[in-house]
Chain A
Amino acid sequence: MSEQEIMISMKDVNKWYGDFHVLKDVNLDIKKGEKVVICGPSGSGKSTTIRCLNHLEKFQQGNININGTELIDDVKVVRHIRAQVGMVFQHFNLFPHLSVLENLVLAPTWVHKVPRKEAIKKAMYYLERVKIADQADKYPNQLSGGQQQRVAIARCLCINPEIMLFDEPTSALDPEMVSEVLDVMVELADEGITMICVTHEMGFAKKVADRVIFMDAGQVIEENEPNEFFDNPQSDRLKLFLEQILSH
C-alpha cells in the first residue's frame, strides 16, 4: 500500500440474510481518489457490499472504516458517514413529487443547513455540469431514464461527497441512453473523487478504473488493474464470467 490516505477500509466483513451467508470475509481497502469497479454474477454480493458502506445494509461481523470514522449502528455516526457518501441507484430513486431543482436542493438545505439561495446556485451549477440545466423546473417523470440518472448524480454531488457509490447505474437504461450517463461518470472520475461502481460496463471499467474487483458467492475472488484483469484472468471463475459477458 502506498503512502496515500486510505478512504474506505473493510475488514473481514460478514453478512447474513437469515441463514443465508451473503458476504464472506470481505476485505477491501480503497485509497482517496481511487476508482474501483466491482463486477460479478447476480447474487454475488456486489451491491450488498457497497450498500454496507453507507449503512443501507447492516453487517453482522467485521469492521468498516470510512474516512477515519468507524461505521457502527448509531444514528449520529451513520448520518455523519452518509453526509460524505453519495449513492446513485439502479432505478434513480428521484423524488417524483418534487421538481428536479427541489430534488437537488433538499439534502443541502435540510441536512447540511446550507442557505436556500446558495443551495439553488450550487444545484444549478451541477445541473449545468450534467448538461440538464434546462430541465430544472420539470418533474422527474417528465424526463427520460438517462436524464433522470444524470439528475440523480447531480443530486449526490450537491452534498459534496468524498465518496460516490454507483449501484448498477446504467442497467435500467435503454441502450441509447447508457453513454450519456457514462460520459458524466468518466468526467467525474477525472476530477479525482473516490468512486466505487458496481457495473457490467466493461468499456467503462477499462477506461476509468484503477482496479477491478470480481466477486462471486459473497467473496472477492480476484482483483487486479484493468488491463491485467481482462487480458490475463487468473481464476477459472473469472475466465468463465468474462467469456460469458464478452461473447455477445
Chain B
Amino acid sequence: MATYTIKEAKAAPVGTKGPIHWMKHNLFPDVKNSLLTLVGLYLLYLTVPPFLNWMIFDATWSGTQDEITKGGARWIFISEKFDQFMYGFYPEELHWRPNLVLILTVAFLFSFKIFANVKIKAALILSYPVISFILISGGWLGLETVETEKWGGLMLTLVVAAVGIIASFPIGIVLALGRQSDMPIVKTLCVGFIEFIRGVPLITILFMASVVLPLFFSDGIDFDKLLRALIGITLFQAAYIAEVVRGGLQAIPKGQYEAAESLGLSYWQGMILIILPQALKISIPNLVGSFISLFKDTTLVLIIGLFDILAMVTLTNSDTNWLGYEVEGYVFVTLIYWVVCFTMSQYSKAIERKFNTEH
C-alpha cells in the first residue's frame, strides 16, 4: 500500500512568458519561419505606408477644390456632401428629427439595461418604433410630413435595417415554432413559406414587392415604395431568422421540454419562459451574423429606386462640380459599414457574456 501527500501548486518555469519569448517562439523558431516572417514584414512595408499616406498624411482635409495640392485623398468631398450621405434629400431644416431618433435609440438601449421591470421594458419596446416613426415621417403632432421619396443616405440604410431586424425577429420565432409544431397544417405552411423564401434571391423579392404586389391592389391604392421594400425585406429576413432559431430550439435537451410540461406550464409558458430564452441565447452569434448580413443587403433597395448610403456615392458623383470623387466616397461608405457592423458584433458579444450562466 502507498499513500501520497497533497502537493503545493508551483509557479510556472521562468522564460516561458513575455513578448521576447513570444516572438522567439512564434516568429523566429527556425530558418523557414524566420524567412516567412521577413517576407511578411516586407509586404506590410510595401502596402501599409502608402495606404496611410493616401488616407491621412497626404490627404486634403479642408479648404476648396482649388487648394488641392497633395496627391492623397480629397476628404473635402465628403464634408461637402456629408448631409446627402447622411440624410439623402431629407429637408435640411428637419435634420434634427432623425438625429433625435438616433439619440433616442442609444438612450433606449441603455435604459433597457437599467430597468429590470418587465413592464417598463415592454413599454420601451412597444413605444420605440412608434416614436421613431412619428419623428422621422411626421404628419402628426404638428410635425411636417416628409415623404419617403426624400429619405435617403445612411438614415435610409438604418431605417431599412432596423425595421427589417425588429419586425422579422418575432415573425421568425413564430415560424420556427410553427415548423416544429405537431399540427400538420401549421407545420406545412411554415415549412412552405421558409423554403420558398430561402429559395429566392432578395433582389427577386424586392422586385416582386415593388412590381408584382401593386398588381394585386385595385387602382388608386398607392402603396408606398419604401413600405413595400420593408415588407419584402422583413419576410425575407424572417425566413432566415426562423432557421437560425430552429437550430437553437433543436439544441435544447428534451428534458427541458419535459420538465416544463411536468410542472404544468402551458405550451406558450414553457416556450416563452423556458425554451426560447435558452434557444435564443445559443442562437445569438448566428442571429447577429444574420442581422449583419441583412444590414449589408439593405443596399439592394437601390434597384427599386431608393437611395441608400451606397447609392448616394453614385448620385453625388453626378454633380458636375464634383466629378471623379468615387474613391473617396466608397472608402468613406466602407468605413461606415464597417463601424456599424463591428459595433453590432461587439454588442452581441456583450449580450452573450451577460447571459452566460455556465460559470
Assess whether B263 is in contact with A106, with CB atoms less than 8 Å apart: yes
B3 at the interface (CB under 8 A from A): no
Interface string of A126-160 (1 = CB under 8 A from B): 00000000000001011000000000000110010
CB distance from B263 to the nearest CB of A (A): 4
Assess whether A110 is in contact with B355, with CB atoms less than 8 Å apart: no
Q: CA of A29 to CA of B358 in the docked complex: distance in angstroms?
A: 43
* A87: B residues at CB distance < 8 A: 262
Assess whether A95 is in contact with B274, with CB atoms less than 8 Å apart: yes
* B274: A residues at CB distance < 8 A: 95
* B256: A residues at CB distance < 8 A: 93, 95
A122 at the interface (CB under 8 A from B): no
Q: List 21 interface pairs A-B (beta carbons < 8 Å), by A numbering.
A: A82-B262, A85-B262, A86-B262, A87-B262, A89-B255, A91-B253, A93-B253, A93-B255, A94-B259, A95-B278, A96-B357, A96-B358, A97-B355, A107-B263, A107-B264, A110-B265, A111-B264, A139-B357, A139-B358, A139-B359, A141-B359
CB distance from A107 to the nearest CB of B (A): 4
Q: CA of A75 to CA of B268 in the docked complex: distance in angstroms?
A: 13
Interface string of A51-91 (1 = CB under 8 A from B): 00010100000000000000000010001001101110101
Tell me the count of chain A residues lying within 8 A, CB to CB, of chain B: 27
Q: CA of A187 to CA of B264 in the docked complex: distance in angstroms?
A: 25
> Which one of B261, B357, B359 lies within 8 Å of A82 (CB-CB)?
B261
Residues of B within 8 A of A (CB): 253, 255-256, 258-266, 269, 273-274, 277-278, 281, 355, 357-359
Residue of A nearest to B261 (CB): A56
CB distance from A161 to the nearest CB of B (A): 10
14 new A-B contacts at CB < 8 Å, known A79-B266, A96-B278: A54-B262, A89-B258, A89-B259, A91-B253, A93-B253, A94-B259, A96-B357, A106-B263, A107-B264, A110-B269, A111-B264, A111-B265, A112-B264, A159-B263
* B357: A residues at CB distance < 8 A: 96-97, 139, 141
* B358: A residues at CB distance < 8 A: 96, 139, 141
Instruction: Give me the 9 closest cross-chain CB pairs, A-B, nearest first.
Output: A93-B259, A93-B255, A107-B263, A82-B264, A139-B357, A87-B262, A111-B264, A83-B264, A97-B277
* A91: B residues at CB distance < 8 A: 253, 255
* A110: B residues at CB distance < 8 A: 265, 269, 273
* A156: B residues at CB distance < 8 A: 263
Assess whether B273 is in contact with A159, with CB atoms less than 8 Å apart: no
Residues of A within 8 A of B (CB): 54, 56, 75, 79, 82-83, 85-87, 89, 91, 93-97, 106-107, 110-112, 139, 141-142, 155-156, 159
CB distance from A88 to the nearest CB of B (A): 9
* B269: A residues at CB distance < 8 A: 110-111
Residue of A nearest to B255 (CB): A93
Q: CA of A188 to CA of B273 in the docked complex: distance in angstroms?
A: 29
Q: CA of A75 to CA of B266 in the docked complex: distance in angstroms?
A: 9
CB distance from A84 to the nearest CB of B (A): 9
Assess whether A107 is in contact with B359, with CB atoms less than 8 Å apart: no
CB distance from B340 to the nearest CB of A (A): 29
Q: CA of A108 to CA of B359 in the docked complex: distance in angstroms?
A: 27
Q: CA of A112 to CA of B358 in the docked complex: distance in angstroms?
A: 30
CB distance from B326 to the nearest CB of A (A): 50
Assess whether A155 is in contact with B263, with CB atoms less than 8 Å apart: yes
* A159: B residues at CB distance < 8 A: 263-264
* B273: A residues at CB distance < 8 A: 106, 110
CB distance from B265 to the nearest CB of A (A): 6
CB distance from A81 to the nearest CB of B (A): 9
Q: CA of A97 to CA of B277 in the docked complex: distance in angstroms?
A: 8
Assess whether A56 is in contact with B264, with CB atoms less than 8 Å apart: no
Residue of A nearest to B278 (CB): A97
Q: CA of A141 to CA of B357 in the docked complex: distance in angstroms?
A: 8
* B265: A residues at CB distance < 8 A: 106-107, 110-111
* B281: A residues at CB distance < 8 A: 97
Q: CA of A56 to CA of B261 in the docked complex: distance in angstroms?
A: 8
User: Which residue, B260, B274, B278, B357, has most C-beta atoms of chain A within 10 A?
Assistant: B357
CB distance from B25 to the nearest CB of A (A): 35
Assess whether B263 is in contact with A142, with CB atoms less than 8 Å apart: no
Q: CA of A86 to CA of B274 in the docked complex: distance in angstroms?
A: 18
> Which one of A79, A93, A96 lies within 8 Å of B264 (CB-CB)?
A79
* B355: A residues at CB distance < 8 A: 97
Q: CA of A93 to CA of B253 in the docked complex: distance in angstroms?
A: 9
User: Which residue, B258, B264, B278, has most C-beta atoms of chain A within 10 A?
Assistant: B264
* B253: A residues at CB distance < 8 A: 91, 93
CB distance from B114 to the nearest CB of A (A): 21
CB distance from A115 to the nearest CB of B (A): 16
Q: CA of A15 to CA of B82 in the docked complex: distance in angstroms?
A: 72
Q: CA of A11 to CA of B159 in the docked complex: distance in angstroms?
A: 63
Q: CA of A43 to CA of B274 in the docked complex: distance in angstroms?
A: 30
* B258: A residues at CB distance < 8 A: 56, 89, 93
* B259: A residues at CB distance < 8 A: 89, 93-95
